[in-house]
Amino acid sequence: MTQVLSYREEHFQVTDKVGVVIPVYGESDSIVWVLNHFPKGVVDTICLVIDVPIRKIMNRVRGAAEQSAITTHIIKNPERMGVGLSILQGLEYLRKTNHSIAVVMAGNGKDDPRQITRLTKPIIKDEADYVQGSRYLFGGGNKGKMPFVRRVFNRLYPKVWSLLTGKNLTDVTNGFRAYRLDLLNDKRINLKQEWLYGYSLEYYFHYKVISLRYRMKEVPVSKRYPFGHKGGYSKIQPLKDWWPIISPLGLLFFGVKK
């Protein structure tokens, strides 16, 4: 059955089956907030991939999922597998269940589910194969509070990508994205590599889409930090986690990795 999706004043017909992958580790109030803010009719399925699930939290998550009235599939990993492998598990589930579009978003409240149609609309209208959410495009709204070094990195890193790929990019480190799942049928894109099971997977995929000349588009989105967690803005640890973020660009550009 054809669904009608809406975002603000916009209405368009959708025949694509849209699924959302949300990797979760250590969130409680955050993921409940996310599930409570999904507009009805925007997606067909939510796939939560939860590393080290805690029973008390799982009860709250299930309650929020039921209240959302959106089909929610939960994958539980008994140990921390890494964000890359969690995303891959979610994508594989969406492929097996005949979804055509995947949205990837954070489970800690940083990404607003009400902005999902900004990402999916260009794909549904056949204007793009891959859509990157950007905090720095006009109309993006709140960028969130970050330490100075992280702020500078987030602005300079896309310039390096733009230089090496020849594609004008404004945001690379924002994990709020959407893409056609049939991109994964391209044998030149291999997400099932062990070195991608952490933060590297998303940057590998980003580079592959651009270098293989798929239609890529940026759209404005906001970033929120509603809970003010201790340490505040991210689980990414300086130095330790920066290498998996930085390395894919160089390794792929110079042909060290495929």
pLDDT tens, position by position, 192-205 = 999 999 999 999 99
Number of domains in the chain: 1
Which residues make beta-bridge pairs with 75? Answer: 49
Q: What backbone torsions phi and psi does residue 78 show, to the nearest 5 degrees?
A: -70, -15
pLDDT in tens, 111-142: 999 999 999 999 999 999 999 999 999 876 66
pLDDT band at 230 (very low <50, low <70, confident <90, very high): very low
* pLDDT at res. 240: 64
Residue 4 lies in a domain: no
* pLDDT at res. 6: 34
Whether residue 162 contacts residue 251, with contact meaning beta carbons closer than 8 Å, is answered with no
Ranges of H-type helices in the chain: 29-36, 55-68, 83-96, 116-124, 148-165, 200-211, 242-253
pLDDT over threshold 80, residue 44: yes
Please state which of the ranges 1-5, 76-80, 250-254 shows the lowest mean pLDDT.
1-5
CA 57, 59, 61, 67 torsion: positive or negative? negative
Three-class SS state of 51: strand
Assigned token pair, 39: 């507009």
Angle (deg, nearest 10), helices 83-96 and 200-211: 60
Q: In sequence order, which residues have a C-beta less than 8 Å from that of residue 6 and are 6 or more positions away?
A: 39, 41, 117
* pLDDT at res. 235: 60
pLDDT in tens, 82-106: 999 999 999 999 999 999 999 999 9
Running DSSP on this structure, what letter comes out for residue 199? Answer: T
Residue 7 lies in a domain: no
Assigned token pair, 51: 């590393």
Residue 70 lies in a domain: yes
pLDDT over threshold 90, residue 225: no
Residue 245 lies in a domain: yes
* pLDDT at res. 11: 42
User: Domain containing 129: what range?
Assistant: 16-252
Whether residue 198 contacts residue 82, with contact meaning beta carbons closer than 8 Å, is answered with yes
Residue 192 lies in a domain: yes
Short-list 86, 95, 90, CA closest to 72: 90
pLDDT band at 224 (very low <50, low <70, confident <90, very high): confident
Residue 2 lies in a domain: no
* pLDDT at res. 133: 97
| Mean of pLDDT values over 226-246 | 64
Residue 10 lies in a domain: no
Angle (deg, nearest 10), helices 148-165 and 200-211: 30
* pLDDT at res. 226: 62
Which helix (H) or strand (E) is 10 found in, with range?
strand 10-14
Q: How far apart are CA 73 and CA 78, in angstroms?
A: 16
Question: Which tops the pLDDT comparison, 77 or 2?
Answer: 77
Residue 11 lies in a domain: no
pLDDT over threshold 90, residue 228: no
pLDDT in tens, 139-172: 766 666 677 788 888 999 999 999 999 999 999 9
- Rounded to the nearest integer, the mean pLDDT of the chain is 88
Burial pattern 78-90, b for ≥16 Cβ within 10 A else e, equals eeebbbbbbbbbb
Q: How far apart are CA 46 and CA 61, in angstroms?
A: 12
CATH number for the domain spanning 128: value is: 3.90.550.10
- Strand 10-14 versus strand 18-24 pairing type: unpaired
